[in-house]
Amino acid sequence: MAIEEPSFKVLEQDGSFELREYAPYVVAETRVEAAFEDAGSIAFQRLFSYISGNNVAQQKIAMTAPVTQSRGEKIAMTAPVSQVADGRAFLVAFTLPATYTLATAPRPLDSTVQVRAIPAQLIACWRYSGRWTASNYRDNEVLLRERIKARGLIARGEPVLARYNPPFTPWFMRRNEVLIPVARRPVR
């Protein structure tokens, strides 16, 4: 059975690299103070509880992919979200199905879970398989940053780890991605 993913259009592809144009989408996210390898597991319980009905509407929400993890950002009490690095904290997010908007997504009962709109954006992507370790992620982030530089793109945000498979999937069959928001250099 296919799992829904955020909508995007591939603009360029070269091996493991893709340049994608994403449509806006909504996420449920939580901030976790933990080591890289532990943050996803800790956050998963909170987020899974939310989509399982721990929300004001007591509504079940379909599981989607990917589950994303980025360096900790403090979430502002009002919009927009500030993007300040925060040491050993990570934001972990579930993408909500496309039928939800910020206005229609059920409000979480757990105050550590927030619902946030992600705007349309240009994303550089590096796809890889393997274990969900900090070193594997960093190695692939370096490869993506090299490709961003070689293509004359400008990084516009923090890198994000996107995981598409359940933990019981053998490591060599896992689809992982490093995603970095980018912009094209102005034409002179």
The answer on pLDDT for 85 being more than 80 is: no
Mean predicted confidence (pLDDT) in 18-25: 97
The answer on pLDDT for 63 being more than 70 is: yes
Residue that is written with structure tokens 């690095």 in the block = 85
Mean predicted confidence (pLDDT) in 77-97: 61
Alpha-carbon distance values, 43 to 57, 75, 141, 181 (Å) = 21, 15, 22, 23
Q: Mark out the alpha helices in 55-165 (DSSP H runs).
A: 134-150
pLDDT band at 188 (very low <50, low <70, confident <90, very high): confident
Report the Cα 168 to chain-centroid distance in Å.
20
Q: Name the token pair of 150.
A: 């070689």
The answer on pLDDT for 145 being more than 70 is: yes
Averaged pLDDT score across all residues of the chain: 89
Q: What CATH number was assigned to the domain covering residues 8-184?
A: 3.20.80.10
Quick one: which of 75, 72, 112, 68 has its CA closest to 88? 72
pLDDT band at 82 (very low <50, low <70, confident <90, very high): very low
Q: Cβ(76)–Cβ(84) under 8 Å? A: no
Q: Name the token pair of 82.
A: 């500030």
Calpha distance 107→124 (Å, rounded): 31
The answer on pLDDT for 25 being more than 80 is: yes
pLDDT band at 185 (very low <50, low <70, confident <90, very high): confident
Q: So where are the chain's domains?
A: 8-184
Quick one: which of 164, 166, 176 has its CA closest to 130? 176
The answer on pLDDT for 180 being more than 60 is: yes
- Of the listed ranges 80-94, 117-131, 134-148, the least confidently predicted one is 80-94
Quick one: which of 126, 182, 119, 120 has its CA closest to 155? 182
Total residue length of the chain: 188
The answer on pLDDT for 143 being more than 50 is: yes
